[in-house]
Amino acid sequence: DWTPENVIADQVKKIREQVGDARVICGLSGGVDSSVAAALVQEAVGNQLTCVFVDHGLLRAGEREQVERDFVAATGVDLITVDASQRFLTALAGVTDPEAKRKIIGREFIRVFEDAAREVVARAGAHGEDVKFLVQGTLYPDVVESGGGEGAANIKSHHNVGGLPDDLQFELVEPLRELFKDEVRQVGLELGVPEAIVWRQPFPGPGLGIRIIGEVTAERLEVLRAADAIVRKELTAAGLDRDIWQCPVVLLADVRSVGVQGDGRTYGHPVVLRPVSSEDAMTADWSRLPYDLLAHISNRITNEVADVNRVVLDVTSKPPGTIEWE
Give the nearer residue to ligand XMP in terms of CB position, either 277 or 322: 322
Least Å distance, CB 248 to ligand XMP, is 7
262-281 positions binding ligand XMP, by CB under 6 A: 281
Using CB under 6 A, which of 11, 50, 246, 309 touches ligand XMP? 246
| 102 lines the binding site for ligand XMP (CB under 6 A) | yes
106 is in an annotated binding site: no
| 323 lines the binding site for ligand XMP (CB under 6 A) | yes
Say if CB 37 and CB 137 are below 8 A apart. yes
Of 210, 276, 268, the closest CA to residue 245 belongs to 276
35 is in an annotated binding site: yes
34 is in an annotated binding site: yes
Q: Which residues pair with 23 in a beta bridge?
A: 131
Using CB under 6 A, which of 4, 62, 148, 204 touches ligand XMP? 204
| 181 lines the binding site for ligand XMP (CB under 6 A) | no
**192 backbone φψ class: left, alpha, beta (φ>0; ψ -120 to 50):** left
| 205 lines the binding site for ligand XMP (CB under 6 A) | yes
Q: Which stretch binds ligand XMP (CB under 6 A): 20-28, 82-90, 136-144, 197-205?
A: 197-205
Give the nearer residue to ligand XMP in terms of CB position, either 175 or 248: 248
Least Å distance, CB 274 to ligand XMP, is 9
Least Å distance, CB 216 to ligand XMP, is 14
Using CB under 6 A, which of 27, 30, 137, 206 touches ligand XMP? 206
Beta-strand relationship, 257-261 and 264-273: antiparallel
| 318 lines the binding site for ligand XMP (CB under 6 A) | yes
Q: Which stretch binds ligand XMP (CB under 6 A): 134-142, 184-192, 215-223, 317-325?
A: 317-325
209 is in an annotated binding site: no
277 is in an annotated binding site: no
Least Å distance, CB 265 to ligand XMP, is 35
| 202 lines the binding site for ligand XMP (CB under 6 A) | yes
SS3 sequence, the chain? CCCHHHHHHHHHHHHHHHHCCCEEEEEECCCHHHHHHHHHHHHHHHHHEEEEEEECCCCCCCHHHHHHHHHHHHHCCEEEEEECHHHHHHHHCCCCCHHHHHHHHHHHHHHHHHHHHHHHHHHHHHCCCCEEEEECCCCHHHHHHCCCHHHHHHHHHCCCHHHCCCCCCCEEECCCCCCCHHHHHHHHHHCCCCHHHHCCCCCCCCHHHHCEECCCCHHHHHHHHHHHHHHHHHHHHCCCCCCCCECCEEEECCCCEEEEECCEEEEEEEEEECCEECCCCCCEEECCCCHHHHHHHHHHHHHHCCCEEEEEECCCCECCCCCCCC
| 316 lines the binding site for ligand XMP (CB under 6 A) | no
Q: Which stretch binds ligand XMP (CB under 6 A): 40-48, 65-73, 254-262, 318-326?
A: 318-326
Give the nearer residue to ligand XMP in terms of CB position, either 148 or 205: 205
Binding residues: 29-35
Instruction: Give binding residues for ATP as ranges.
Output: 29-35
Question: Which positions lie near ligand XMP, rule CB under 6 A?
Answer: 102, 202, 204-206, 246, 281, 318, 322-324
